[in-house]
Amino acid sequence: MKKHWWHKATIYQIYPKSFKDSNGDGIGDLKGITSKLDYLQKLGITAIWLSPVYQSPMDDNGYDISDYQAIADIFGDMSDMDELLAQANQRGIKIIMDLVVNHTSDEHAWFVEAREHPDSDARDYYIWRDQPNDLDSIFGGSAWQYDDKSGQYYLHFFSKKQPDLNWENAALRQKVYDMMNWWIDKGIDGFRMDVIDMIGKIPDQKIANNGPKLHDYLKEMHQATLAGKDLLTVGETWGATPEIAKKYSSPAEEELSMVFQFEHIGLQHKPNSPKWDYEKGLNVPALKDIFNKWQTELELGQGWNSLFWNNHDLPRVLSIWGDTGTYREKSAKALAIALHLMRGTPYIYQGEEIGMTNYPFKDLGELNDIESLNFAAESLENGRAISEIMDSIRMIGRDNARTPMQWDADANAGFSSSPQTWLPVNPNHTQINVEVALADPDSIFYTYQKLIKLRKENDWLVDADFELQETTDKVFAYKRVTADASYLVVINLSGEAQPFDLDIDYQETIITNTCEFEVFEKLQLQPWDAFCVKVG
């Protein structure tokens, strides 16, 4: 198998509005990110995945793009982007851009033209029908919006300010590829592709994900943009199975490097229920089955996994699956060790490396996220109690991940000089912040730093087979096995002591969040104990 830099990489996701504000308007920006590159270099990450910074009316915080080749005013301008790229590259950090081409903003020039001039070429860049069908928008309500001017409906799987692009149109596809090449020529190192599994949609047959032409489009895109370049591409694919993930990520298919699959994230809500019907507490046996399936079915050379607990759409993992109290630090390290020693490319979401948690939202007035607000409005209309609605949002809502990064204990957490931050700062920033983490050699930060370094320096993390070990329910244990060495990873994914009876022919400790001697002297794992040891 041909090795690529991203096989040994760890990626750090930045949500630009919330990372660091440089000009005191309460909103994070590009100069703010550049000012924190030394911090990211210290953490050791290989690349930043930058959530969208393009020009946008911010109906969905930049996932509604009105110009792919301009920077949103709130974030700075193209010279700030160039400066970020240059400064990052100087520190050996690559930049992965977010590519949102399932839809644009309704303020994109193409859509404006399509709407104003129904006989223009741009009309067919979008999807218009005389009559809507009963497809729903993922953000609530119908997926069709009536347009007065032309008397037709356009499709929007997300907000009505995010009209879906029509990938059947070859000229539109070429425009997308030209835009991608423009960014590649600028020196970026890859793309995270937003809801890419939806570009093959067939709305009349109510097919949204995994449409029949999806992989033809991706192959065409690959040839037109990625071929011959060593870029990282990761597709967001909510509906992927291992079989489907191979189609995207097998090198022979020449499509993408890897995809984000969400099967493990599915355990955050009740089966066959909306995400808001959350399941508090981790179903460890189910999680083990899912990881085992993905780790063994995406064989080396036939596909590649991504590994993540968090992103800008998900709750903070400590709040839903970890411990935000006594064992906050220990559970954060345990979850990190569990994830980062599997095969795949790990992703860290900003603040995860210091153990940030969900925000205690009190009322709807504190929220910004369109999905949460639409859910609240719809639920209120259906007579649901506000207390219940807020309870769901506090656990699952997307704003939990989006509150400002906690840099220090000062007012506004060192995120901004303005007290008017676009989302409130979590009150726990007085204890949970970068300054405190850096000063404590035992902090979560240094566990992440070590995991990133291990991945860079050890081929076995890429090559070794994954073998799930038989253990009691709450213990996740696996071996990574090569021809000449075996590594055993053991994590107690619970806040209670667990019996443990695996035979360990101990050779060397690779990483642990507990005192290593303790582990072997007792036949019990303490709450959230985690370690990796080289075994005979």
Question: For Ca ion, which residue has the nearest CB?
Answer: 29
Q: Which helix (H) or strand (E) holds 370?
A: helix 370-381
Question: Looking at beta carbons only, is 60 or 80 nearer to ligand GLC?
Answer: 60
Task: State the binding partner of 313 from Ca ion, ligand GLC, none, CB within 5 to 8 A by kind.
Answer: ligand GLC
| Rounded least distance, CB 455 to ligand GLC, Å | 24
Give φ, ψ of 152 to 5 degrees: -120, 165
In the block, tokens 């960014």 appear at 183
194 binds ligand GLC (CB under 6 A): yes
What is 56-111 written as a DSSP string?
Answer: ---TTTTSS-SEEEEE-GGG--HHHHHHHHHHHHHTT-EEEEEE--SB--TTSHHH
Task: State the binding partner of 389 from ligand GLC, Ca ion, none, CB within 5 to 8 A by kind.
Answer: none
| Rounded least distance, CB 396 to ligand GLC, Å | 14
Task: State the binding partner of 359 from Ca ion, ligand GLC, none, CB within 5 to 8 A by kind.
Answer: none
| Rounded least distance, CB 90 to Ca ion, Å | 23
Q: What's the rounded Cα separation, in Å, for the pair 432 and 441?
A: 15
Which two tokens mark 324? 């935000």
Which two tokens mark 315? 């709750």
| Beta strand spans in 232-324 (E) | 232-236, 258-260, 306-307
Residues whose CB is less than 8 angstroms from the CB of residue 148 and which lie 6 or more positions away in sequence, other chains included: none
335 binds ligand GLC (CB under 6 A): no
Task: State the binding partner of 195 from ligand GLC, Ca ion, none, CB within 5 to 8 A by kind.
Answer: ligand GLC
Total residue length of the chain: 536
195 binds ligand GLC (CB under 6 A): yes
Burial of 140-158, coded b for 16+ CB within 10 Å and e otherwise, reads bebbbbebeebebbbbbbb
In sequence order, what are the beta bridge partners of 94? 47
Task: State the binding partner of 33 from Ca ion, ligand GLC, none, CB within 5 to 8 A by kind.
Answer: none
Q: Which amino acid is at 379?
A: S
Q: Cα dihedral sign for 318, 323, 328, 333? A: negative
Q: What's the rounded Cα separation, in Å, for the pair 124 and 435?
A: 52
Site for ligand GLC in 305-334 (CB under 6 A): 312-313
Task: State the binding partner of 25 from Ca ion, ligand GLC, none, CB within 5 to 8 A by kind.
Answer: Ca ion
Q: What's the rounded Cα separation, in Å, for the pair 122 and 134?
A: 25
Question: Looking at beta carbons only, is 29 or 60 nearer to ligand GLC?
Answer: 60
Q: What's the rounded Cα separation, in Å, for the pair 73 and 75?
A: 5
Q: Is 236 a catalytic residue?
A: yes
Task: Indicate which residue of 194, 263, 323, 353 is catalytic.
Answer: 194
Q: How many residues bind ligand GLC (CB under 6 A)?
A: 9
Q: What's the rounded Cα separation, in Å, for the pair 256 and 306?
A: 12
Q: What's the rounded Cα separation, in Å, for the pair 400 and 316?
A: 7
* Residue among 139, 106, 138 nearest 377 (CA): 139
Q: Is 194 a catalytic residue?
A: yes
Q: Which of 21, 29, 59, 60 binds ligand GLC (CB under 6 A)?
A: 60
| Rounded least distance, CB 270 to ligand GLC, Å | 21
Q: Which helix (H) or strand (E) holds 533?
A: strand 530-535
Q: What's the rounded Cα separation, in Å, for the pair 471 and 43?
A: 33
Question: Looking at beta carbons only, is 161 or 429 nearer to ligand GLC?
Answer: 161
Q: What's the rounded Cα separation, in Å, for the pair 91 and 37?
A: 8
Task: Indicate which residue of 21, 98, 236, 323 is catalytic.
Answer: 236
| Rounded least distance, CB 60 to ligand GLC, Å | 5
100 binds ligand GLC (CB under 6 A): yes
- How would you classify residue 400: left for phi > 0, otherwise alpha for psi between -120 and 50, otherwise beta? alpha
Residues that bind Ca ion (CB under 5 A): 21, 23, 25, 27, 29
| Rounded least distance, CB 62 to ligand GLC, Å | 9
Site for ligand GLC in 228-287 (CB under 6 A): 236
Task: State the binding partner of 21 from ligand GLC, Ca ion, none, CB within 5 to 8 A by kind.
Answer: Ca ion
Question: Looking at beta carbons only, is 32 or 344 nearer to Ca ion?
Answer: 32
| Rounded least distance, CB 37 to Ca ion, Å | 17
Task: State the binding partner of 189 from ligand GLC, Ca ion, none, CB within 5 to 8 A by kind.
Answer: none
| Rounded least distance, CB 378 to ligand GLC, Å | 17
Question: Looking at beta carbons only, is 75 or 158 nearer to ligand GLC?
Answer: 158
Q: Which of 126, 154, 158, 308 binds ligand GLC (CB under 6 A)?
A: 158
Task: State the binding partner of 106 from Ca ion, ligand GLC, none, CB within 5 to 8 A by kind.
Answer: none
164 binds ligand GLC (CB under 6 A): no
* Residue among 422, 412, 316 nearest 359 (CA): 316
Question: Looking at beta carbons only, is 283 or 368 nearer to ligand GLC?
Answer: 368
Task: State the binding partner of 23 from Ca ion, ligand GLC, none, CB within 5 to 8 A by kind.
Answer: Ca ion
Question: Looking at beta carbons only, is 189 or 236 nearer to ligand GLC?
Answer: 236
In sequence order, what are the beta bridge partners of 103? 164
Question: For ligand GLC, which residue has the nearest CB?
Answer: 63
Site for ligand GLC in 401-440 (CB under 6 A): none
Question: Looking at beta carbons only, is 7 or 17 nearer to Ca ion?
Answer: 17
Q: What's the rounded Cα separation, in Å, for the pair 169 and 124?
A: 7
Residues whose CB is less than 8 angstroms from the CB of residue 117 and which lie 6 or more positions away in sequence, other chains included: 123
| Rounded least distance, CB 504 to ligand GLC, Å | 41
| Rounded least distance, CB 157 to ligand GLC, Å | 8
Which two tokens mark 514? 């507990």
> Contact residues for ligand GLC (CB under 6 A)?
60, 63, 100, 158, 194-195, 236, 312-313
Annotated catalytic sites, by residue?
194, 236
